[in-house]
Amino acid sequence: MATDFTPTSHKAINQVHRLKDRARYDTESIHAILDNNLLAHVGFTLPPGAADEDDWPFVMPMCYGRIEDIVYLHGYVSGRMMKALASEERPKVCITVSQVDALIVAMSPFHNSMNYKSAVVFGHGRLVESPEEKDRALAAITNQPFRHADRWNDSRPPNSIDLKSTKVIAVQIERASAKMRTGGVSDDILDKEDPELLKKHYSGIIPMKTVFGAPEPTAYNIADTPAYLLPDAMNKEN
């Protein structure tokens, strides 16, 4: 498993060019962002000759799971993205994951910002064909939202129809970067020294956090609610 993705050239695809002090290339930072979030946006292009109107690039929101330096995706066997990423050409894939921690509200809208964490990873799609790897990948995707709880093994095992109708794609992280902002408002010095502006325009931070609520069982549920689904467990930091 790689420990660092620091670019070796300023032309590298994962080189952060703007606000370089916010960039991180270590796997600890990148993995933490992947592991603490639920939704990825997956960018790819269809292979040449695909029966689509145009060769538009696609970016699709997807659930995901990570095992070491591999990000796993899954979908319906005949879905457009699954077919594209499973092709023998092993198409290039770009995956982004981000979270917003606060809104930064400045006196000037040009200094508004966000405190955030984001990761961008690059790799090539590979169809998972080994039943053992497919099982591990589906478990990782299933367990991703549950703070390391094993929901996969606390669910009905998949049957043959489930498995035959689902493709799993592995994306080995070949290059990656993270970018994050923390801190306060960066108002202009002159604005901060202007009494009229200070009276008229608010400046500050609005913290933001995703919080899981209490589980709401189905009308037909008769099973006890697992402890790992309760708010104390679901809202625990990884």
Domain of residue 134, CATH code: 2.30.110.10
- For residues 212 and 200, give the distance between their C-alpha atoms in angstroms, rounded to a whole number: 37
- Report pLDDT for 46: 78
Q: What pLDDT tens digit does each residue of the chain (238 aa) get?
A: 777 899 988 899 999 999 999 999 999 999 999 999 999 999 998 766 666 666 778 999 999 999 999 999 999 999 989 988 988 888 899 999 999 999 999 999 999 999 999 999 999 999 999 999 999 999 999 999 997 899 999 999 999 999 999 999 999 999 999 999 999 999 999 999 999 999 999 999 999 999 999 999 999 999 999 999 999 999 987 6
219 within a domain of the structure (yes/no): yes
- Report pLDDT for 147: 79
Q: Which two tokens stand for residue 27?
A: 């796997």
- Report pLDDT for 157: 96
8 within a domain of the structure (yes/no): no
- Report pLDDT for 55: 72
Q: Which domain holds residue 208?
A: 20-234
182 within a domain of the structure (yes/no): yes
- Report pLDDT for 62: 96
- Report pLDDT for 50: 61
Q: What is the number of domains present in the chain?
A: 1
- Report pLDDT for 52: 61
49 within a domain of the structure (yes/no): yes
3-state secondary structure of 9: coil
Token look-up 């929101």 returns 61
217 within a domain of the structure (yes/no): yes
- Report pLDDT for 221: 98
- Report pLDDT for 126: 95
The closest of 87, 144, 97 to 119, measured between CA atoms, is 97
Burial class (CB in 10 A: 0-12, 13-18, 19+), 7: middle
153 within a domain of the structure (yes/no): yes
- Report pLDDT for 94: 98
- Report pLDDT for 237: 75
- Report pLDDT for 87: 84
Name residues whose C-beta falls within 8 Å of residue 222's C-beta, 6 or more positions apart in sequence: none
Name residues whose C-beta falls within 8 Å of residue 103's C-beta, 6 or more positions apart in sequence: 112, 114, 205, 206, 208
Q: What are phi and psi of 180, to 5 degrees?
A: -150, 150
10 within a domain of the structure (yes/no): no
199 within a domain of the structure (yes/no): yes
